Amino acid sequence: MPNDYTLDAQQTADLSNWQTYFNIAKAVKQSDITLGMLSESQKTQLKSIASLDNSPVASSALALLIFDNPKYAYYEQVKPVTVNKARLTRPIDNTELKTENKLLKIYPNPSHNYITLEYRTGDKYSSLSIAIKDATGKTILTKQLKGGNSEEMINLSELKSGVYSLLLYGDDALIEVNKITVLK
């Protein structure tokens, strides 16, 4: 560390707040640890520190206030969580999160001998079809579906136990992929 290192204004304020906190915590440690042990001056100092936004010592000050009085009332400001798309395995948009907007529902899943497909495509596509593929990508079953909004039962009794991909096509374009599990 260089000899001419200096703290900026924020670092100086944080250092001062930490020193205040540790002095109060030291006094608490040296006294009998009982409820209501903090003086009004100590409480005022801790409340001031606990109310600071983005302060590294704020949560420690709040913890000491709650330790002194478990019924201490405080209001935590919850900030919204931002989604970092770079951390997602597959970037998604909010429309994909809404299950009511899904075109295809499959049940029961896992299944034994059959599944029911419930699809809601309206009049978007003139032809609908599905393909079921195994883990190697080999097509095991294909079926044309009625268009629009409907339900169809698919017989899986010929399939072995395993995980399969069910692909929904609209006008020969892939529009949705789901995993199904068959148990025998």
| Residues 6 or more apart in contact with residue 58 via CB below 8 angstroms | 49, 50, 51, 52
- Let me know if residue 159 belongs to a domain: yes
Question: Quick check: 139 pLDDT over 90?
Answer: yes
Same domain, yes or no: 174 and 107: yes
Q: Residues 14-67: pLDDT tens digits?
A: 899 999 999 988 888 887 666 678 888 998 999 899 888 778 888 888 888 888
| Residues 6 or more apart in contact with residue 66 via CB below 8 angstroms | 72, 74
Scanning the structure block, which residue is given the tokens 């399969």? 164
Domain stop point among 31, 51, 68: 68
Same domain, yes or no: 98 and 176: yes
- Let me know if residue 29 belongs to a domain: yes
Same domain, yes or no: 126 and 62: no
Same domain, yes or no: 111 and 166: yes
Domain of 168, in residue numbers: 94-182
Same domain, yes or no: 62 and 98: no
Question: What total number of domains does the chain contain?
Answer: 2
- Let me know if residue 58 belongs to a domain: yes
Residue 87: pLDDT band (50, 70, 90) is: low
| Residues 6 or more apart in contact with residue 7 via CB below 8 angstroms | 15
What are the DSSP E strand ranges found in the chain? Answer: 104-107, 114-120, 128-133, 139-145, 149-155, 162-170, 173-182
Same domain, yes or no: 103 and 144: yes
Say whether pTM exceeds 0.75: no
Q: Residues 161-174: pLDDT tens digits?
A: 999 999 999 998 99
CA atoms within 13 Å, Cβ hemisphere of 183: 4
- Let me know if residue 64 belongs to a domain: yes
- Let me know if residue 85 belongs to a domain: no
- Let me know if residue 178 belongs to a domain: yes
- Let me know if residue 73 belongs to a domain: no
Within 10 Å of residue 64's Cβ, how many Cβ atoms? Answer: 20
